[in-house]
Structure 1
Amino acid sequence: MHGIRICALLLGLVSATRGSTVRHDHSFQPDHILRVTAETYTEACSERYSVLVNGSSPGPELRLREGEVNWIRVYNDMPDANTTIHWHGLTAFTSPFSDGAPAASQWPIPPGHFFDYEVRPEAGSAGTYFYHSHVGFQAVTAKGSLIVDSRSPPPYHYDEERTVMISDYFSETDDEIESGLTSTNFTWSGETEAILVNGHSRPATNATGACKLAAISVEPRKSYRLRFIGATALSFISLAVESHDLQIIEADGHYTKPFATEFLQIGSGQRYSVLLTAKSEDELKKVNKRDFYIQITTLERPEVLTNFAVLHYESDTHSPDLTTVPSPPPLPVASTVQGWLDYELEPLVQDNHFPRLEEVTRRIIIDVHQNVSDRTIWLQNGYDWVQSYPKSPYLVDIYKNQLNLDATYHRAITRGNGFDNITRTFPAQIGEVLEIVWQNRGTVDNGGVDAHPFHAHGRHFYDIGGGDGLYNATANENHLKGTHPVQRDTSVLYRYRKETSQLVPSGWRAWRIRVTSAGVWMYHCHVLQHMEMGMQTVFTFGDREDILAQSGPVDGGYLTYGGSAYGNATSAPFVQHFKQ
C-alpha cells in the first residue's frame, strides 16, 4: 500500500506539471486546512451567532513563503450557507478560481463541500495580508491573518514580531444585518459596539465578565515589527501607543522608506507594519510602569468609540491588568487627518514601472454616492452591484463562452465612461494603462458624504493621491512632481465634510495601473455594510483569448455550482494544478 501511495503521488505531480486535472483523494495532503462553521461564540463579553474559522475569530494565522505553491483546503461545515475565502492582497492570475470572489471569479463553496485553493504569493510580495470570507457579512468574524515570508532576510532589522488584528463587534447576527441593509424596509446595522484586538475587547463600562483586553507582550530593549491588520467591518480607526513612537516600514505588502509617526490611520482592508523599540528597564523604572495602553478610536462615524489593548512589558513579578478600561483615555481622542500619508509615503526601492501621465491610455472616473428609492443603496456611475446580480460568475461565463468581452469593451468605450451598464463591469484590454478616479458625491436625499476604503483584487495599483472637491488631473500631476507613489491594494476615499449638496463632488482618490494580467477582479468599498448595499463593481482585464492563454483550458468541474472541483464527504475533487 505504501508503494502504491507514493506512485499515486508521483503520478499526480507529473500530471500537474502538464496542467492536467488531479484527483485530490486521501493521498493528497493540503498545506493548510480551514474549517468554516457557524455557532454561538463569545466576544466582548457577549454571545453572538457567528461564522468562525477553525472554531474561533480570528482564525489561525497562516504563514506562506513567496514563490511557493500552497494548497489551502477550505471546508464549508455550515448546513445552510455558502462561503468562500479571499486571500486579501494576494494575486491569483494563473490560479483563476482561487481569488475567492463569488459571482465574479468562482462559484461559492456549497454547504457540506470543500474547495482546494491554490495560492502562490508572487516573488517580492513578502508582507502582511489576511484572509476572510467574501460572502455576505461573514467577514465580520470569518477571517484570520496571513503572513508572506521572504526567501531572503527582510530589509529592516527587528528581534521579534507581533500581529495585531483589529476588528468590529456587532450584537446582531449576519443574517439580521444583511436583511436590514437589503430590504425595502431599510434598517441600519447600528454602529460598531466594540473594537476587538486579536479577538479581545472589554466594554468601557468595566462590566463584569470573563472578557479581557488584548495584551501585546514585549521585552525591554528589543525591537519589534508590529503587523497591524485593519480587518474591521465598518470602522475607520486611529491608533496610537502610549509613550511610544512608531516607524512605518510596510504598507499593504510593500516595504516603504521608514516613516516616523505618532499614530496610524487604518481603513478596513489596510495593513501596516511598524517598528517599535521597547523601552529599557531604566526607562520603565523612571515612569514606574510596565503596561502602556494602545488606544484605538473610530473616525468619521456619528458616534466616537474608543477601545484599548495593552502593550505589556514581560516580568516575572508583574502581570498586566486586562480588566480595567481607562477613563478618561490616556491619550487625546483622535480626529481624522484628511489625506493622511498622501504624497509622503514612498517605496523602499523605487521601480521603473510607475506609469507616467503620458502613458495613461484611459481615465475612468467612478462617481460614488448613496441613493434612496425603493431601498437605500450605494451606486457606482448610477448602478449598484450585489452578489446575486450575475446569474453565474463572470469568469465561469467567460470560460463557457457565454460572456462576450469584446462586446462589453465596445459598449464601455462607446458610452465614454469606461462602464458597460449591461454587465455592470469595467472592461480593459491588456496593454492599457488606466487612471482610475473614485469621485465622492453628496447623497441624493440629503447631501451626506462618507469615507470609503476602496480595495482592488488582482494586481496592486499605484496610489497617486487624493483631495477635496473634483479631481483635477493637471493639478494632481503637479502635486506628484518629486514624489514616488507607493503600491497599495486598499486606500481611503476621504469625504472632507459630513455633508454637501446633492451630487456635489466632495473628495476623490486616484490610482494608476498597468493592465498586464488577464482576469476578473472585484473593486469595492471594504466596508461590509456598503458592499451589502451595492458599493462594489467588477473589472475585467483582457479578452477571452487572453484569459485562456494565461491559465489554459479548465476542467468543467469548476464551471458548475458544486461541480466536481468541489469535494464532499463521499467524493474527492478533481483539481487543476495551475501553478508550478
Structure 2
Amino acid sequence: MTTKTAVISFCRLLMGLALVVSSIVNGYKLRYHGESFKPDIVLRVTENSIPVACSTRYSVVINGTSPGPEIRLRQGRTYWIRVYNDMETQNLTMHWHGLSMAASPFSDGSPQASQWPIAPQYFFDYELHPNVGDAGTYFYHSHVGFQAMSASGPLIIEDDDPPYQYDGERTIHLSDLFLQTDEQIETGLTQPPYVWSGEPSNVLVNGQGVLLNPGADTGDTECSLATILVEPEKVYRLRFIGATALSYVSLGFQSHNNLSIIEADGDYTQPFGVDHLQIGAGQRFSALMRTKSRKELEEDRANGINHYFLQIETRERPDSVRSYAALIYPGGSYNVSTAPANPPMILPSTTLGWLDYQLRPLTPNNFPTLAEVTRRVTVTITQIVNNTLVTFLQNGFPWTESFPPMPYLVALYNEDLSLFPSYESAINNGGMDNRTRTFPAKLGEVLEIIIQMTGAGNGILNVHPFHAHGAHFYDIGSGSGAYDLMQNEERLKGVEPVRRDTAMTYRYPGSGIPGVPWAWRAWRLRVTDAGVWLVHCHILQHMLMGMQTVWVFGDRNDVLRLGYPAVKGYLSYGGEAYGNSSRWPTCVHYWDDDDD
C-alpha cells in the first residue's frame, strides 16, 4: 500500500467512525459502508445471452439467472441488499414491489420519482424493513425501461406464526418472453415511427418453458417445462407472482380445482374457494391446494394418467398464448421437453370484476367508510395517437423518464421548491397540480381515487393493472362506463374490502369512442406514508408510453424530513450514496436495529 493510499484509507476510516458516533439526526444515522460493512444479500445485475424456452435472448439478469434468486425476509427486521449494476452502458434500479419504503424513501427504486438510477459499474445499498403485518408474497424488479421483463425475482416476507397451516410452499413466478431485445422494444414504443412490441412468444413459469409451435426449430438450445413437485395428501401454499410485462392470464391445474385463496398482494384474506385464477402484471395471490390421495393417484394411473399440468392462457389480447408447467407426484413422470399436443382443460373466458366484491380481509383492516372520505380524485386516462407516436395521458399529461429531468424527490431535496406541488391549485383542478403534473395530499386525508379509462384514439381497448407504490389501498371495485358513486356504494353494503397494491381495470365489450368513459377502478386510501409515490399501469409497454402518475403525500416538512446535508449523497447521479470499485458509499440508516 502506498503512503497516499494509506492516508486516504485512514481518512475514510476516521470519517466512517465520526459518522457512526456523531451523526445521529432525527432518529437516523449516516454510516460509511466500508470494507467491514457486510450486506445481508448481494444482487449482481448483468446483461447476457441466456437460453430461454428453446431460444436465446440477450437479457438483463440477476445473479446470472432470470428470474433472479428468491429472497426471503422476516417481518420486523432490517436488511441491507446491495445491488451491483455490472452492465456497461445501462442504468438500473431495484423496486421492492408491494413494500412501502416510507421510512427509507431513496430505497423505493423508482427512477422517475424517488432516486437516481444506479449508474453502470456502480452499486447501491437498499435498506428494507418489512413491518409487522407485511408477511406475504411480493417480488423485486428493475424499474428502468423494459428491464423488468427478465430482471425480477420472488420476494417472500415470512410470517413467524402464519394463520393458515400447510405442509409446504411452491412459488410460481410468471413472466413473459419477448424475442426482441429490450432496446428494440423501447425504441419502437418511444421514438418515431411507433412500433408496437407485439404479443409475447411465451409465458414462462419460474423462467422455464418450451416451444409452443410444434415442429419449430429449437436449434441447439435445450428447454423444458417447469416442474412443480408435490406429494399426495398434503396441503401446499402456492404463491403466484404476476411478473409478466404485458400478459393478463387465466390459469388452473388439471384435475385439481380445489384452490382456496388466502392472500392477495401481501394481505391475508378469509379463505375463498376458486377453480382457477386470473392474474395481471404486478398482482400476487397465495392459494392453498390439497393434493390427491394415494387412492386417487392409483385410480388415475390405472387409467394412464401419471402427471398433471398447470395450464396458463393469456386473455384480452388479439392473440392468445397458451403455456404449461408440469405438476408431478412421486412415481409420476412426463417428458418435460414438450407441451401437450392438446390442452387438458378448458379455462373460462375473462370474468369481468373477478373477486372485486368477494374477497374479505382475514382480520378487520380499518376500512374507511364513505363518510370518512375527505376528497375524491379522478385520474382520467386518455390515449393520443398520431402518425409517429402513441402516448397515454393522465388528466392531460404524460409522465415519462424525461419529465422531470431528475427524480422528483431528488429535485425537491435539491432545494428546487418551485417543484413542490400546490395543494390549493390541485384542489381547484380536480386533484392534480398541472405545473408539476403531480397529485398532492395531506397526511390524515382519506382519498377516494377513481382511475377512469376513456376510449382509445385507435379504437383499441386494453386491460390495465394499476399499481400504487407506498401504502396499500382499499380496493372498492370496478365497472364499465363512468364511475357512479351511489351505485358503487350500494355494491359495498356489508362488504369490508381487502387492501391491495395492484388492481385491474377491465376491457368491456366494444371498441370505445375516443375520450368517452368506458371503464373505471376505484380505491380508498388513508394517507399515512409521507413521500413521493408512483401510481402507474404495470404493463411495461404502457409505462414507457406515459401511463404513470406521481403522488406527493405530506407537506414539505413531512416529505423532506431528513434534511440537508444528510441526504447529500443521494442527490446527484453517481453521488456519495453510490459505491464503485474505488469508493465505498455513505448511506442513511433509518432503523435502530441496524446495530443488532
TM-score norm. by structure 2 comes to 0.93
Q: Distance in 2 between matches of 1:508 and 1:25?
A: 50
Aligned amino acid, residue 439 of structure 2: F
1:508 aligns to 2:520 (yes or no)? yes
1:471 lines up with 2:474 in the alignment: no
After superposition, the C-alpha distances for 1:96-148 in whole angstroms (9 at most, x for unaligned) are 10000002100000001000000111110000000000000000000100000
Tell me how far apart the structure 1 counterparts of residues 563 and 126 of structure 2 sit (CA, whole Å): 15
Residues 510-529 of structure 1: CA distance to partner in whole angstroms, max 9, x if unpaired? Answer: 00001112100000000000
Corresponding residue to 2:227 among 208, 211, 215: 215
**Pairs within 5 Å for 1:147-158:** 147-150=156-159, 152-158=160-166
Whole-Å Cα distance in 1 between the matches of residues 337 and 563 of structure 2? 53
Q: Return closer, same or farther for 1:147/1:17 CA change in 2, 3 Å cut-off.
A: farther
The one-letter amino acid of 2:485's match is A
Q: Which residue does 2:353 correspond to in 1?
A: 339
Residue 130 of structure 2 is aligned to residue 121 of structure 1: yes
- Given residue 200 of structure 1, which amino acid in structure 2 is its aligned partner? Q
Once the two structures are TM-superposed, the CA of residue 290 in structure 1 deviates from its matched residue by 3.1
CA contact (8 A) 2:419 2:436 kept: no
Q: Percent identity?
A: 54
- Does residue 266 of the first structure (1) align with residue 274 of the second (2)? no
**Bigger Cα displacement from structure 2, 469-478 vs 498-507:** 498-507
Shift of 1:476: 0.5
Native 8 Å contact 1:447 1:501 kept in 2: yes
In the other structure, the counterpart of 1:292 is 308
- 2:424 corresponds to: 410
1:149 to 1:13, Cα distance in 2 relative to 1, 3 A: farther
Which residue number in structure 2 is paired with residue 559 of structure 1?
571
Question: How far did residue 403 of structure 1 move?
Answer: 3.0
Q: Deviations over 1:2-49 (max 9, x none)?
A: xx9x99999876567652311101100000000110111111111111
Mind listing any 5+ residue stretches in structure 1 that lack a counterpart? none
Alpha-carbon shift at residue 324 of structure 1 (Å): 2.7
Q: How does 1:384-399 map to 2 (within 5 A)?
A: 384-399=398-413
CA-CA distance at 1:203 after TM superposition: 1.6
Cα distance in 1 for residues equivalent to 2:560 and 2:537: 29
How many residue pairs get matched?
Answer: 571
Q: Which moved more, 1:95-104 or 1:422-431?
A: 422-431
8 Å CA contact retained: 2:43, 2:63 = yes
Flag the 1:291–1:428 CA change in 2: closer, same or farther, 3 A: same
1:95 match: 104
CA distance in 1, matches of 2:422, 2:50: 45
**1:34 counterpart = 2:43:** yes
Matches of 1:16 and 1:210, distance apart in 2:
55
Q: How far has the Cα of 1:498 moved from its partner? A: 4.5
Separation (CA, whole Å) in 1 of partners of 2:20 and 2:317: 52
Cα distance, 1:377 vs. partner?
0.8
Q: Distance in 1 between matches of 2:23 and 2:500?
A: 33
Separation (CA, whole Å) in 2 of partners of 1:550 and 1:253? 28
AA aligned to 1:427 is P
Cα displacement (A) at 1:334: 3.3
In structure 1, the partner of 2:339 is 325
Matched, 1:282 2:295: yes
Moved more, 404-413 or 235-244: 404-413
8 Å contact from structure 1 (residues 87, 100) kept in 2? yes
Return the alpha-carbon distance in structure 2 between the equivalents of residues 497 and 114 of structure 1: 47
Using the TM superposition, name which of 565-574 and 391-400 deviates more. Answer: 391-400
Deviation at 1:369, TM superposition (A): 2.4
Aligned pairs for 1:47-86 (under 5 A) are 47-86=56-95
Structure 1 counterpart of 2:182, from 174, 182, 186: 174
State the Cα deviation string for residues 269-295 of structure 1 (Å, max 9, x = none).
000000011112211111113311100
CA contact (8 A) 1:429 1:541 kept: yes
Structure 1 position 383, deviation (Å)? 1.3
Distance change >3 Å, CA 156–CA 98, structure 1 → 2: same
- Tell me whether 1:493 sits opposite 2:501 in the alignment: no
> Shift of residue 468 of structure 1?
1.1
Identify which range, 401-410 or 225-234, moves more after superposition. Answer: 401-410
8 Å Cα contact 1:130/1:147 also seen in 2 = yes
Counterpart residue type for residue 185 of structure 2: I
Mean CA deviation greater in 550-559 or 529-538: 550-559
Question: SS of 2:105's equivalent?
Answer: coil
CA distance in 1, matches of 2:172, 2:510: 30
CA distance in structure 2 between the aligned counterparts of 1:389 and 1:340, rounded to whole angstroms? 35
Contact 1:449 1:506 in 2 (8 A): no
CA distance in 1: counterparts of 2:184 and 2:228, whole angstroms: 33
Q: In the alignment, residue 587 of structure 2 is paired with which amino acid?
A: V
Q: Which amino acid aligns with 1:300?
A: E
- Aligned equivalent of 2:456, options 440, 443, 447: 443
Offset at 1:572? 0.3
* C-alpha separation in 1, matches of 2:46 and 2:420: 41
- The residue identity in structure 1 corresponding to 2:336 is L
Question: Helix, strand or coil: the match of 2:184?
Answer: helix
- Checking the alignment, whether the CA contact within 8 Å between 1:93 and 1:519 is kept in structure 2 is yes
Tell me what 2:415 maps to: 401
Alignment of 1:191-210 (within 5 A): 191-206=199-214, 207=216, 208=218, 209-210=221-222
| 1:293-332 residue CA offsets vs partner (Å, 9 max, x unmatched) | 10000000000111111111123xx433212311220111
Measured against aligned partners, the alpha-carbon deviations of 1:221-267 in whole angstroms (never above 9, x if no partner) come to 11100000000000000010011121100000000000000000000
**Which amino acid letter does the alignment assign opposite residue 413 of structure 1?**
I
In the alignment, which residue of structure 1 is the partner of 2:530?
A: 518
Q: Is the 8 A contact 2:15 2:32 kept in 1?
A: no
Give SS of 1:495's match.
Answer: coil
The CA distance in 2 between the partners of 1:54 and 1:486, in whole Å, is 35
1:350, CA displacement in angstroms? Answer: 1.3
User: For 1:574, which of 578, 586, 596 is the aligned residue?
Assistant: 586
Instruction: Report SS of the residue matched to 1:139.
Output: helix
Preserved CA contact (<8 Å) 1:167 1:230: yes
Q: 3-state DSSP class of the match of 2:67?
A: coil
- Cα deviation for residue 363 of structure 1 reads 0.7
The AA in structure 2 aligned to 1:559 is L
Query: Quick one: structure 1 residues 193 and 361, their matched pair in 2 at CA, closer, same or farther if it must change by over 3 Å?
Result: same
Residues 282/17 of structure 1: CA separation in 2 closer, same or farther (3 Å cut): farther
Q: Check whether the contact 1:22–1:577 (CA below 8 A) recurs between aligned residues.
A: yes
Given that 2:475 and 2:500 are in contact with CA atoms closer than 8 Å, whether structure 1 keeps it comes out as yes
Q: Tell me which residue corresponds to 2:169.
A: 161
Is 1:142 the equivalent of 2:156?
A: no
User: Structure 1 residues 553 and 153 mapped into 2: Cα distance closer, same or farther (>3 Å)?
Assistant: farther
Alignment of 1:302 onto 2:302? no
Per the alignment, in what secondary structure is the counterpart of residue 422 of structure 2? helix
Q: Which of the residues 394, 400, 403 maps onto 1:380? A: 394
Q: How far apart in 1 are the matches of 2:453 and 2:392? A: 11
Query: 2:33 corresponds to which residue?
Result: 24
| 2:180 partner letter | E
1:131 is aligned, of 140, 161, 170, to 140
Q: Distance in 1 between matches of 2:511 and 2:21?
A: 61
Cα distance in 1, alignment partners of residues 462 and 58 from structure 2: 29
The offset of 1:418, in angstroms, is 0.7
* Structure 2 CA distance for partners of 1:498 and 1:37, relative to 1, 3 Å: farther
1:555 deviation in Å?
Answer: 2.7
Task: Say which SS state the counterpart of residue 369 (structure 1) adopts.
Answer: strand
Contact 1:127-1:147 within 8 A present in 2 as well: yes
Q: Determine if contact 2:24/2:30 at 8 Å carries over to the other structure.
A: no
Partner of 1:420: 433
Instruction: Find the aligned partners of 1:341 and 1:551 in 2 and give their Cα distance.
Output: 44
The residue that corresponds to 1:434 in the other structure is: 447
Q: Find out whether 1:452 has 2:464 as its counterpart.
A: yes
- The CA distance in 1 between the partners of 2:19 and 2:314, in whole Å, is 51
